[in-house]
Amino acid sequence: MPEQYDLIVLGSGPGGYVAAIRAAQLGLKTAIVERELLGGICLNWGCIPTKALLRSAEIYHNMQHADSYGLSATPGFDMRKIVARSRGVAKQLNQGVTHLMKKNKIAVHMGTGKLTAPGNLSVEKNGKTEELTAKNIIVATGARARDLPFAPADGKRIWTYRHAMTPPETPTKLLVIGSGAIGIEFASFYRDFGAEVTVVEMLDRVVPVEDAEVSAFLQKSLEKLGMTILTGAGVEDLKATASGVTAKIKTKDGKVAEHQFSHAIVAVGIVPNTADIGLEALGVQMDRGFIKTDAMCRTGVPGLYAIGDVTQPPWLAHKASHEGVIAAEHIAGQHPHAMDPKNIPGCTYCHPQIASVGLTEAKAKEAGYELKIGKFPFIGNGKAIALGEAEGFVKTVFDAKTGELLGAHMIGAEVTELIQGYTIGKTGELIDEDFANTVFAHPTLSEMMHESVLAADGKVLHI
């Protein structure tokens, strides 16, 4: 007889394992199926270990500027040790998820899962197949890096983010194709360790999902650090050789030139892991490979849910986790709130950091809002100056008629930690007066959030 559950979660990334935990808390007999490592890409090969790498880069960057703080240091690095620390962090978190599965009495089935019928799932491992059944199944199989069709990653000279996390050698001259969060983070990381870096972006600005002012500021900052930024450009050919990479790059003026690099990182998007898991046979509706879902994460097949990177954007770990909670609570008969994509923050951990939530100024104008905009620079904040981090700004976008916070956009030190203040405000439907009447601690970077709101109403104090 197949093992029977109330819920089976296919995939154990930040969406899958959170969904399993919440379901178990609500009394559902729950199982999780994972083909590789508990925690999925995020904990093992994505969000967390990359931040460990970037932390090493941040410390090394500061070491090189120790004199400005009245200190002395002899900067040096060992990439093998940097990578080993990152892998150690990933291992610790993988063990943490394993503990959470045991604590919540969630059955773990390691192997490759496939939907065979509504409520039925097979798990194959080492030539053996195990059959499971459940009243409900959540698909949380995530996504993988997209290859260039004419130059698939080989792990030697042409890399995806996964290769870039455990480099066989440190690049000396690096080409980064794509300037989204992944591309820019690795460009920042390897530039800090001395690589000559060129970033190629096909759209007209870097980090194109961000507010245009943030994009412009970041490009200037990256160029100041010595990077070459090519926007409105594309890589038309990419060939790996024994000693490097040859790339034909077409720039915005239409000219094509050949360039030599030691390595290339391809960061041009993701491909959902939806093939060969039985979705087509069940009649699941898809859009360019991604699963269509409703506000409760339901597919069109009764009892089948989908969350995370296999569904619609934004493709972010925290969005997947929240969807996992929504799906689990809905399955358990509760009435969770639907998630508003405009209230999901986005963060990029380059140097300087970027964080945002809600509409950009351009998107808010397109939506027909009458706007009032507030901005405040890091140079006007005492804590930022004391930290030696006086570059950046905070920008807030409000509905001029109602005071509703439509969007917030930040670039500078630690803004990935600050953005949650605005995210809470948007979720709680606070208006400009609520932020203005809030007392912000001094001296803190968060005071810039207050000043930006005040600036929107012509009440800014410190510039």
Q: What tens digit of pLDDT does each residue of 136-189 get?
A: 999 999 999 999 999 999 999 999 999 999 998 999 999 999 999 999 999 999
> No. of H helices and E strands in the chain?
14, 24
Residue type (1 letter), 345: P
Are the beta carbons of 160 and 248 closer than 8 angstroms?
no
- Structure tokens given for 209: 């999902």
- Tokens at residue 395, please? 């920008």
Name the phi and psi angles at 186, rounded to 5: -75, -30
- C-alpha of 208 from chain center: 14
- Token pair, residue 451, equals 């000043």
Tokens 């983070």 locate to: 185
- How many whole angstroms separate alpha carbon 210 and alpha carbon 199? 17
**Active-site residue set:** 442
Question: Which helix (DSSP H) or strand (DSSP E) does residue 100 occupy?
Answer: helix 79-103
Answer whether 429's CB lies under 8 Å from 368's CB: no
**What whole-number distance in Å separates Cα of residue 79 and Cα of residue 85?**
10
Under 8 Å between Cβ of 453 and 432: yes
Nearest of 439, 419, 270 to residue 358 by alpha carbon: 419
How far are the Cα atoms of 181, 287, 375, 453, 462 from residue 450, in angstroms, in the given order? 27, 41, 10, 5, 11
* Per-residue pLDDT of the chain in tens (463 residues, 90 and over written 9): 788 999 999 999 999 999 999 999 999 999 999 999 999 988 999 899 999 999 999 999 999 999 999 999 999 999 999 999 999 999 999 999 999 999 999 999 999 999 999 999 999 999 999 999 999 999 999 999 999 999 999 999 999 999 999 998 999 999 999 999 999 999 999 999 999 999 999 999 999 999 999 999 999 999 999 999 999 999 999 999 989 999 999 999 999 999 999 999 999 999 999 999 999 999 999 999 999 999 999 999 999 999 999 999 999 999 999 999 999 999 999 999 999 999 999 999 999 999 999 999 999 999 999 999 999 999 999 999 999 999 999 999 999 999 999 999 999 999 999 999 999 999 999 999 999 999 999 999 999 999 999 999 999 999 9
Burial label for 421, CB within 10 Å (0-12, 13-18, 19+), is middle
- State pTM to two decimals: 0.95
Q: Which two tokens stand for residue 447?
A: 């005071």
Residue whose token pair is 């923050």: 345
Alpha carbon distance 322, 308 (integer Å):
9
Rounded to the nearest 10 degrees, the angle between the axes of helix 79-103 and helix 16-25 is 30
In this structure, what DSSP letter does residue 431 have? B
The neighbour count for residue 404, using CB atoms within 10 Å, is 17
Of 126, 165, 210, 212, give the one whose Cα is nearest residue 43: 165
CB atoms within 10 A of CB 340: 11
What are the CA-CA distances from residue 275 to residues 35, 36, 231, 278 (Å)? 14, 17, 33, 8
| Proportion of the chain above pLDDT 90, given as a percent | 97
Distance separating alpha carbons of residues 320 and 326, to the nearest angstrom? 10
DSSP H or E segment with residue 331 = helix 317-331
Domain architecture of the chain: domains with CATH: 3-145+271-341 (3.50.50.60), 158-268 (3.50.50.60), 352-456 (3.30.390.30)
Question: Which residue type does 205 have?
Answer: R
Longest pairwise C-alpha distance within the chain: 72
- Which structure tokens are listed for 164? 């870039």
